[in-house]
Chain A
């Protein structure tokens, strides 16, 4: 029996309770940051002096009018280096052209993600998590500056206002923020200040220009891989081709003779060659004669993993949602439908290959890298070097595509191990092949469904069993409680929107031998929305109902889900005639605090080729920070999901990943890109995340469209050549 209290309901709507992995109640909201001063010792580029106004960890205003915003979240394309400044600047009353940005140093106390509990950029949480604290941070400074000005003018603070970095008196006198910081810095930091009325926003909700892009069109932007440190050498790596294997021996005589090769470094499970440049390192690596101890996983294949999962899926799972009494309701059903769905391992294949530059000395360690988890980067370097964490400086950089890969620190750990053995700084860069074959992969998923109908063709019993690896159990053990991985069932359990009287969703943990698993754009919901929205479509077809109408009939209590569904259906002309061999498919979702419906128009040629022609997205992500970013993230997210749905798959043979590079790990190109229409619902609700939702619902929209055209149900991704005539 699941009856949610109104409090839980509210949290669910905002996507909060679900994402609050490790957080205590006190760690949310503005109280987290106010009153904390940024210490001088943690790598701030510009010194904080007595004359600097720094009422919290996110901003510093100096007498020369320079305004520095410290970014708690890392920029990897999602636009956070624009949305975070917009939140601060709106309340600080400055324009975006008046601010400069700095990446936050590692510090969980100052820069923890309020929704996750430590310093992490992921799960589409930046705007939902920092919406309140960053507006508070800006407003606090504004209140202090106004107070300082009012005191100088001997007027009431309430009679003054701020605009574009100046305080204006009731008689029109103006003082720049820079002129006020000395006096303002001496004031006590107010506890909690009132925020602006949304109707007075001048920045939030506007399509502000991105702050990170001008340097990204002229080659000046520095990603981690672009770091150049004086005296630096270059290294590339070969790790054991089978996970769990070790280095047995290496003959490096040829490699050391090659021009530009300086050193061969032996690791527990890998070899690195250090040279004058990447090419020398690559040539050296190719010249090594390596012998591996392949370890326990050399017989693992995709098939053996799936067989193991299929067996595990027969076991009873840990309940993630139980409404009514499924076990009692099923036997009473007049008709039942069963289905098994499978989703493959996936690589991240970000454009910037894995890299990390490190310099280790007796009493210091510097790391230059783009990471989604700065404090974890610091912690692993401290552990490898034996240095205290404060001796480890993390210089965080722009990331050339994260998609979850940089939530892991394996590459940083490895680079520091190498750097310990190298005299001077060393930049470790993986080849694309190394990147593909030594990823931490999106898990394989094996899902069982059973649904039962009554004699009116209504669904009365519904069971969904998720069988999968638990990422949380490894990545955030305290969040893995009583055997339930909330990520693995996210989108299928609490968030399952359809009104059905008897629901059971359960989870069986099954770890694939020799395959490390991790976060991938869209996380749990990318899997669950595919399987759920596909199975719901099956149920619609089984009762000969229109897929949109069928969903609508079970969404009476879900106004925002219904809202996006109806908007998408209207804009896509759902039900209107289509050319031969073209069909429409629909999906709906609630994930990351955001509601979305996607409708895809798909052509299936007589040769079984799938062409996605048009994708219509309706999105309700609550209050909008930057509508231009929302459109970009939705469309980009869909394209990321399209690659996976059509072709994405990592397979294993003899324990080895079979894919290498973009020829056998195919991704979408411009000529394969559909037309897009994105519609954003205007809303006053709390903001939801937007970096991942686009990726989540595209696969079922496509496969449901394929069903509409061909009558063939795709129950296993990728689609690949499944529709080719035999």
Chain B
């Protein structure tokens, strides 16, 4: 494991980003959304662009374990923090449980929104190990799925919450 290093980013310096446990030095504008840094600069394309204004949740990543919409998160605000994307969420207990339930229940259709769905669901399970239907609604209603996988998303979260 790499040691956690607090960045001294002040706008002049390039932000140092810790993504999935790895540090990256990048040269981008302060206000560039984390989404485009991840996708176009670092090359982690699992995080998706859907709406650009935090309406659909496709771009959800974890910043210090909290779900964030990376399309409106300036890269500077994530500097020095632990950023986790879909590519590494399986390394966490909640993330692995969610991914397994997603495949067991066969949630996925086109799959484009599912990175964001899984990131939101993993964060929910991390903070609330046995969510009620209402908890699921509250945590997941920011994530749009046009294929309509919602009934199975709900079922998969429940299954993951019951697995040990």
Interfacial residues, chain A to chain B (CB-CB below 8 A):
75-79, 207, 209-210, 212-214, 216-223, 225-226, 228, 234, 259-260, 276-279, 283, 349-353, 398-403, 429, 431-432, 628, 632-633, 635-640, 661-663, 667-671, 673, 675-676
A-B contact count (CB 8 A): 180
* Given A213-B103, A670-B136: A351 in contact with B154 (beta carbons within 8 A): no
**Interface membership of B159, Cβ < 8 A:** no
In the complex, are the beta carbons of A219 and B103 less than 8 A apart?
A: no
In the complex, are the beta carbons of A278 and B36 less than 8 A apart?
A: yes
A639 to B147: give the CA distance in the assembly, Å.
8
A638: chain B residues at CB < 8 Å are 148
**Interface membership of B93, Cβ < 8 A:** no
B103: chain A residues at CB < 8 Å are 209, 213-214, 217
* Partner of A279 from B33, B118, B154 at Cβ < 8 Å: B33
Residue of A nearest to B58 (CB): A351
- Sample 26 A-B pairs with CB under 8 A, ordered by A number: A76-B110, A78-B109, A212-B111, A216-B111, A217-B118, A218-B46, A218-B86, A218-B90, A220-B87, A222-B45, A225-B49, A226-B39, A260-B28, A277-B37, A279-B40, A351-B110, A351-B144, A352-B112, A353-B50, A400-B110, A403-B146, A632-B106, A635-B148, A637-B148, A669-B144, A671-B138
* Given A218-B86, A399-B110: A635 in contact with B55 (beta carbons within 8 A): no
A403 to B109: give the CA distance in the assembly, Å.
12
A391 to B162: give the CA distance in the assembly, Å.
54
A376 shortest CB reach to chain B, Å? 21
5 further interface pairs, Cβ-Cβ under 8 Å (given A277-B40, A670-B141, A673-B151): A216-B108, A234-B40, A283-B29, A401-B147, A662-B144
A84 to B40: give the CA distance in the assembly, Å.
34
A2 to B33: give the CA distance in the assembly, Å.
62
A550 to B3: give the CA distance in the assembly, Å.
73
Residue of A nearest to B134 (CB): A671
* Partner of A639 from B43, B115, B150 at Cβ < 8 Å: B150
* Partner of B112 from A223, A259, A277, A432 at Cβ < 8 Å: A223
Residue of B nearest to A633 (CB): B109
* Partner of A221 from B51, B111, B149 at Cβ < 8 Å: B111
B56: chain A residues at CB < 8 Å are 351, 662
* Partner of B106 from A75, A400, A628, A670 at Cβ < 8 Å: A628
Residue of B nearest to A667 (CB): B144
B86 shortest CB reach to chain A, Å? 4
B134 shortest CB reach to chain A, Å? 9
* Given A278-B36, A671-B141: A259 in contact with B46 (beta carbons within 8 A): no
**Interface membership of B143, Cβ < 8 A:** yes
Interface size on B, as a range, is: 35 or more
A212 to B137: give the CA distance in the assembly, Å.
27
A675: chain B residues at CB < 8 Å are 151
In the complex, are the beta carbons of A432 and B52 less than 8 A apart?
A: yes
In the complex, are the beta carbons of B46 and A668 less than 8 A apart?
A: no
**Interface membership of B60, Cβ < 8 A:** no
Residue of A nearest to B148 (CB): A639
B6: chain A residues at CB < 8 Å are none
A219: chain B residues at CB < 8 Å are 44-47, 85-87, 115
A682 to B79: give the CA distance in the assembly, Å.
57
A260 to B85: give the CA distance in the assembly, Å.
25
In the complex, are the beta carbons of B85 and A400 less than 8 A apart?
A: no
B141: chain A residues at CB < 8 Å are 669-671
In the complex, are the beta carbons of A432 and B99 less than 8 A apart?
A: no
In the complex, are the beta carbons of A217 and B114 less than 8 A apart?
A: yes
* Given A228-B43, A277-B40, A661-B53: A209 in contact with B110 (beta carbons within 8 A): no
Residue of B nearest to A638 (CB): B148
* Partner of B151 from A217, A398, A676 at Cβ < 8 Å: A676
A210: chain B residues at CB < 8 Å are 106, 108
Residue of A nearest to B113 (CB): A351
A639: chain B residues at CB < 8 Å are 147-148, 150
* Given A214-B103, A432-B52: A277 in contact with B153 (beta carbons within 8 A): no
In the complex, are the beta carbons of B46 and A220 less than 8 A apart?
A: yes
B150: chain A residues at CB < 8 Å are 639, 668-670, 673
In the complex, are the beta carbons of A400 and B112 less than 8 A apart?
A: yes
* Partner of A398 from B49, B110, B143 at Cβ < 8 Å: B110
* Partner of A77 from B37, B111, B118, B137 at Cβ < 8 Å: B111
What sequence of 0s and 1s flags, for each residue 115-148 of chain B, a beta carbon within 8 Å of any chain A beta carbon? 1001000000000000000001110111111111
